Amino acid sequence: MAPSLSAHFLSEAEVIYPPSHKSKPVTVPEYEPVYSTEKRTPSTNPYRWKIVWRNLIAFVYLHASALYGLYLILTFNQVQLSTVFTLLILGFISAEGVTAGAHRLWSHRTYSAKWPLRLLLMLAQTMAFQNHIYEWVRDHRVHHKFTDEDADPHNSRRGFFFSHINIVTFSFIY
C-alpha cells in the first residue's frame, strides 16, 4: 500500500519509498541529536544561561512586597484581620492551581476536567506567578524524564538555589 499524501507532507523527515526495479538505492542521512544527555563538567562544557528579566523583576517585586507587608503587620499593626484571611485564602487557591492544575491535570494528565474547572485552575495557577502553564508543564515533564541529570531543570545535585530559584529567573542554554 502506498503512503498517503498527508503522510508525505506531514512527516518530519523525507519519506523514503521502497526501491523498485527502476530506482537507485537510497541512503538515509545520519541525524545528530538535538541535545546530549551526557554528563558535562565545567572544564569541558560549561553551562550557559541568560536572565529572564520579566521573571526576575516579578520575583524581586513579590518578595519585597511580602517583606513590606510583614513589616507593616509587625510594627504598625495597620493590617486588618480580613486582609490576612484574604491573603491566606488566595495563597491556598493559587497553590491548588499549581498542584491540581499545572501539576496533576496538565503535566501528568491524572484526571480529565471540564472547561469551567480548567478555566478556574488556569486562573489559580496564574495567581501563583510560576511562569506560563506551558513552560511549567514542559519543565516538569523534562524534570521527570531526566531526574537528577544535567538536562533536569530542577537538578537537586546542583544545589538548593539552582533547583528552586534558578529555574524561575534564568533560562539555560544546553
pLDDT tens string 103-123 = 999 999 999 999 999 999 999
Residue 107 C-alpha from the chain's centroid:
9
**Confidence (pLDDT) at 42:** 55
Paired strand residues for 48: 173
Nearest-CA neighbor of 152 among 163, 139, 143? 143
**Confidence (pLDDT) at 74:** 85
Task: Report the alpha-carbon distance of residue 71 to residue 122 in Å, rounded.
Answer: 31
Across residues 139-144, what is the average pLDDT?
88
Task: Report the alpha-carbon distance of residue 90 to residue 11 in Å, rounded.
Answer: 46
Task: Report the alpha-carbon distance of residue 118 to residue 166 in Å, rounded.
Answer: 28
- Compare 140 and 154 and report the one with higher pLDDT: 140
- Please, which pLDDT band fits residue 127 given cuts at 50, 70 and 90? very high
Mean residue pLDDT across the chain: 78
pTM above 0.75, yes or no: no
| Cell numbers describing residue 112 | 480529565
DSSP reduced 3-state for 52: coil
Report how many helices (DSSP H) and strands (DSSP E) the chain contains, helices first.
Answer: 7, 2
pLDDT above 80 (res 88): yes
pLDDT above 70 (res 83): yes
* Segments making up each domain of the chain, as ranges: 78-130, 133-174
